[in-house]
Chain A
């Protein structure tokens, strides 16, 4: 077994750590990128019936729009969406709960679990199912977004017990 030693740990430390970078480039690139990621996520979610994509992809894009901000100094994050660790856990659980509730409501109307046609929207079955799919996907989106942010926060947690 040989140890890979190139450079001392002190000179490598700043590059390896995920510290925010106070750079004009980062700010200039990230600002429009975060905005377009969120717009793309919304499009992918609501257009999932007609094009590739859906809840999972949209949730990942939304999470990316939040955790990319980790590279920007805290003072530059004003006006952007940030999610705390607690917020991420709540988001993930609420998303799964929301998707499950969309499945449970039809049971209250005598249909089987996840049979969206029984959702009380007063439309014909096919259109109701289409809307039910969208509601279900919204739940999946928030669940995936919260899950990814939770994992990212826990990987980035600084004060780790040895």
Chain B
């Protein structure tokens, strides 16, 4: 059953990506990117990464679509260029090289859910065992994010704040 759902999701995502290549309208591109995120949510949920799926749902489907809509308001439709034939060839070469190396990289990863993979043999074991004992938190993801790896999360938020400051300084209204 799961295999069938995964196959359908994979086919849908491939279809959306092919449509993204063909479409030549900014609004349609934006809608397709949003739909792509929506199906990624389902894939993450299928893989059991519910927290990641939730994040993709609110950020990928919600916020980035809104950001793109806000950006569309700034694009002058008369100054949108389609790539010429030569840039398409170069773009195709770069994209294929990247795709092949990504597939090669994935083939080197441990099998999905392998209990003997390096990631599950190090500290992860202690985190799963200790979340309830140390901080009464059944959701291990929250325990790792906010406590075991709290420093990481704090600095991550600082980085996001720096990104927002850069956006305001570069794009914001001049006084």
Residues of chain A whose beta carbon lies under 8 Å from any beta carbon of chain B: 1-7, 9, 12, 16-18, 44, 48-57, 60-61, 63-64, 67, 85, 89, 92-93, 95-96, 99-100, 103, 113-114, 116, 125-127, 129-130, 132-133, 136-137, 139-140, 143-144, 146-148, 150-161
Q: Which residue of B lies closest to A56 (CB)?
A: B55
Contact present for B173 and A157 (CB under 8 Å): yes
Contact present for A126 and B146 (CB under 8 Å): no
Segment of B8-16, B101-109, B112-120, B152-160 engaged in the interface with chain A: B152-160
Contact present for A157 and B151 (CB under 8 Å): no
Quick one: CB contact mask for B69-86 with A, threshold 8 Å, 1 for yes? 111111111111111100
Contact partner of B145 among A54, A130, A132, A155, CB < 8 A? A54
Contact present for B134 and A9 (CB under 8 Å): no
Q: Which residue of B lies closest to A129 (CB)?
A: B135
Contact present for A127 and B171 (CB under 8 Å): no
Segment of B32-40, B58-66, B90-98, B121-129 engaged in the interface with chain A: B58-66
Contact present for A132 and B147 (CB under 8 Å): yes
Contact partner of B58 among A5, A60, A116, CB < 8 A? A60
Contact present for B164 and A147 (CB under 8 Å): yes
B contact residues, range: 35 or more
**For the complex, what is the distance from the CA of A131 to the CA of B81, rounded to whole Å?**
53
Q: Which residues of A contact B138 (CB under 8 A)?
A: 49-50
Contact present for A18 and B62 (CB under 8 Å): no
**For the complex, what is the distance from the CA of A48 to the CA of B157, rounded to whole Å?**
17
**For the complex, what is the distance from the CA of A44 to the CA of B142, rounded to whole Å?**
12
Q: Which residues of A contact B63 (CB under 8 A)?
A: 60, 63-64, 148
Q: Which residues of B contact A140 (CB under 8 A)?
A: 146, 153, 157
Contact present for B171 and A157 (CB under 8 Å): yes
Contact present for B154 and A54 (CB under 8 Å): no
What is the distance, in angstroms, from B80's C-beta to the closest C-beta of chain A? 5
**For the complex, what is the distance from the CA of A112 to the CA of B90, rounded to whole Å?**
53
**For the complex, what is the distance from the CA of A144 to the CA of B67, rounded to whole Å?**
15
Instruction: Give the dominant DSSP class at A's interface.
Output: helix
Q: Is B20 an interface residue (CB 8 A)?
A: no
Contact present for B154 and A100 (CB under 8 Å): yes
Q: Is B22 an interface residue (CB 8 A)?
A: no
Contact A57-B54, Cβ < 8 Å, known A92-B161, A133-B135: yes
**For the complex, what is the distance from the CA of A95 to the CA of B156, rounded to whole Å?**
13
Contact present for B161 and A126 (CB under 8 Å): no
Contact present for A16 and B70 (CB under 8 Å): no
Contact present for B54 and A52 (CB under 8 Å): yes
Q: Is B163 an interface residue (CB 8 A)?
A: yes
Q: Which residue of A lies closest to B149 (CB)?
A: A114
Q: Which 7 pairs between the two chains have the least Cβ-Cβ distance?
A: A129-B135, A155-B70, A154-B172, A147-B164, A154-B171, A157-B173, A133-B146
Contact present for A60 and B154 (CB under 8 Å): no
Contact present for A57 and B58 (CB under 8 Å): yes
**For the complex, what is the distance from the CA of A63 to the CA of B141, rounded to whole Å?**
23
B residues 26-59 touching A (CB-CB < 8 Å): 50-51, 53-55, 58-59
